[in-house]
Amino acid sequence: MTKSLLFISFAALMAVPGWAAEVGVNQSGFAAGSAPQSEWQPWAARAEIAPKTSVAADRNRGEPGALMIAGGGNASAYGGWQRLVGGIEPGRWYRFVAHYQADSVDDENLQVLSRLDWRGASGKRAGQPEYAFAVEQDGAWKRVTVDAPAPLEAASVEIELLLAYSANGKVWWDDVSLTPIAEPKPRLVRVATVNLRPRNTGSREASVQRFLDVVDHRVSDQTDVILLSEGITVVGTGKSYAEISETVPGPTSRALGEMARKKKSYIAAGIYERDGIDIFNTAILIDREGKVVGKYRKVYLPREEIEGGFTPGNEYPVFQTDFGKVGMMICWDLQYADPARGLALNGAELILTPIWGGNEALGKARAIENQVFIATAGYDYPSLIMDRDGDILAHAKDEGTVAFATIDLNKRYADPWLGDMRGRLVKELRLDVPVRAGR
């Protein structure tokens, strides 16, 4: 049985007590020969690239039936199902949710697509499409979501469920909803980054203490996350990497943890970590209770660190905090596109970057191309905080000072011609094309 709540005038429904929550689409289950013909229609830009579409009676997440799309052996196939929904209120926020299962699809981020394509009263596109790019496992299915405001000229929206360029792939869609929601409240995060370069300290502990003194005297208790530089355990000591390396947890993480508890703030910093025979250039994240909640081992090592005996890391982890998802990268990582890209694809909203020195233009590029906030703390690189457009929000220009900025992780940075690039990045990024140089 198909259940479907069709849009009618939102203003009219709002006048009726109890109706506000009923506006939208909420469909689980599809019946061959009925609902697809009346509500959902197959779609492709050209007949030659149309994928195979059908209603699969043997798949379901709730009620019987799911919308199926198959490449059918055509590597150029692009298309699927769409449904036009009227009664969209301009400027109102909507939440779109859909569930899918995929088989023989090489890259689900790229090839399994769902989006909202807004339409004006004339039927022409209004604003830019919104891609459902947030994905999470939901039982045996995957759940995709996006929250977005309808453009001011919107009157309707095409819900599109698609499969792209997957010759042998199949995808089943079910449990689709579009509901009006309240405009999301700002998700404010107060970020602090420290400009400090200890000199002639003679020991790991003394260098770390100088950073802690600046944090203690210059960072307010209302800060959410504090960023320190790369290698705070070696700078100014005159020691070798191996001499000052330590375990995590270890003495430096415990010292940072005490300050994190005192300030009731997260703290991120770069240290040198020993794990057996390996030494890593590592960034650690301490939570408000003083516990290590994450660490990142630098993936891109410059030759100087390779010659110094470091081992590279091999993953881009993202950590859930009480204010959002945080990733970390370190110094030379900034020189290459994939660390920030990997963190963004894994859901990072803010990237904390302890850095020694580097190319400032590349730092700006990483924020723009991945649509993430980036904070840096450096020695021969500025300690600053950038928004998703690469604009500098705060800069600690003098040594021994701290830059503060309050960022809003819910703020939209939508380009009028391109739309929200945060979603497009995930759904358009070509990681399937080989980049290794030929021999």
Residues 244 and 379 in one domain: yes
Q: Which of 163, 181, 199 is the last residue of a domain?
A: 181
Whole-angstrom distance, CA of residue 39 vs CA of residue 176:
13
Q: Which residue has better confidence, 255 or 21? A: 255
CA angle, 44 as apex, 41 and 48 as ends, to 5°? 130
Whole-angstrom distance, CA of residue 329 vs CA of residue 343:
9
Asked if residue 386 is part of any domain, the answer here is yes
Residues 240 and 376 in one domain: yes
Asked if residue 213 is part of any domain, the answer here is yes
Asked if residue 290 is part of any domain, the answer here is yes
Q: Which of 164, 181, 198 is the last residue of a domain?
A: 181
The CATH number of whichever domain residue 26 belongs to comes to 2.60.120.260
Its domain, for residue 198, covers: 188-409
Q: Pick from 102, 82, 109, 108: which is nearest to 178 by CA?
A: 82
Residues 105 and 166 in one domain: yes
Measured CA to CA in angstroms, residue 71 lies from 44, 102, 143, 168, 415 at distances of: 12, 12, 21, 5, 32
- Three-state DSSP state, 410: coil
- State residue 155's pLDDT score: 96
Convert the pLDDT of each residue in 333-376 to its tens digit.
999 999 999 999 999 999 999 999 999 999 999 999 999 999 99
Q: What is the average per-residue pLDDT within 184-189?
A: 97
Residues 229 and 249 in one domain: yes
Residues 175 and 304 in one domain: no
- State residue 33's pLDDT score: 55
Residues 16 and 149 in one domain: yes
Going by C-beta distance under 8 Å and a sequence separation of 6 or more, which residues neighbour residue 286? 253, 256, 257, 260, 266, 267, 268, 292, 293
Convert the pLDDT of each residue in 2-32 to its tens digit.
333 333 333 333 333 333 333 478 888 888 6
Measured CA to CA in angstroms, residue 89 lies from 97, 153, 361 at distances of: 18, 9, 41
Asked if residue 257 is part of any domain, the answer here is yes
| Structure-derived torsion over alpha carbons of residues 251, 322, 229, 283, reported in degrees to the nearest 10 | 60
Q: Is 414 within 8 Å of 420 (Cβ atoms)?
A: yes
Give Cα 111 to chain centroid, integer Å.
Answer: 18
The CATH number of whichever domain residue 389 belongs to comes to 3.60.110.10
Asked if residue 34 is part of any domain, the answer here is yes
Residues of the chain with pLDDT > 70, as a percent, come to: 92
Q: What is the average per-residue pLDDT within 25-41?
A: 73
Residues 56 and 123 in one domain: yes
Residues 222 and 342 in one domain: yes
Q: Do the strands 112-119 and 93-103 form a parallel or antiparallel pair, or are they unpaired?
A: unpaired
- State residue 420's pLDDT score: 86
Helix (H) or strand (E) holding 26: strand 25-27
- State residue 427's pLDDT score: 86
Question: Looking at the 3D structure of the chain, how many domains does it have?
Answer: 2
Q: Which of 145, 164, 181 is the last residue of a domain?
A: 181
Q: What is the average per-residue pLDDT within 215-241?
A: 96
Asked if residue 416 is part of any domain, the answer here is no
Q: Pick from 430, 425, 431, 407: which is nearest to 134 by CA?
A: 425
- State residue 434's pLDDT score: 81
Residues 155 and 200 in one domain: no
Whole-angstrom distance, CA of residue 414 vs CA of residue 67:
31
Asked if residue 3 is part of any domain, the answer here is no
- Three-state DSSP state, 13: helix
Interaxial angle between packed helices 421-428 and 337-345, expressed in degrees from 0 to 180 and rounded to the nearest 10: 100
Asked if residue 423 is part of any domain, the answer here is no
Q: Is 265 within 8 Å of 193 (Cβ atoms)?
A: no
- State residue 15's pLDDT score: 35
Residues 73 and 210 in one domain: no
**78: pLDDT confidence band, cut at 50, 70 and 90?**
very high
Residues 40-51 as b or e (16 or more Cβ within 10 Å = b): bebbbeeeeebb
Going by C-beta distance under 8 Å and a sequence separation of 6 or more, which residues neighbour residue 186? 408, 410, 411
Residues 149 and 231 in one domain: no
Residues 192 and 177 in one domain: no
Q: Is the peptide bond before 129 cis (omega within 30 degrees of 0)?
A: no
**328: pLDDT confidence band, cut at 50, 70 and 90?**
very high
Question: How does DSSP assign 237-263, residue by residue?
Answer: T---HHHH-B-SSSHHHHHHHHHHHHH
432: amino acid identity, one letter: D
Rg over alpha carbons for the chain, rounded to the nearest Å, is 25
Q: Is 333 within 8 Å of 313 (Cβ atoms)?
A: no
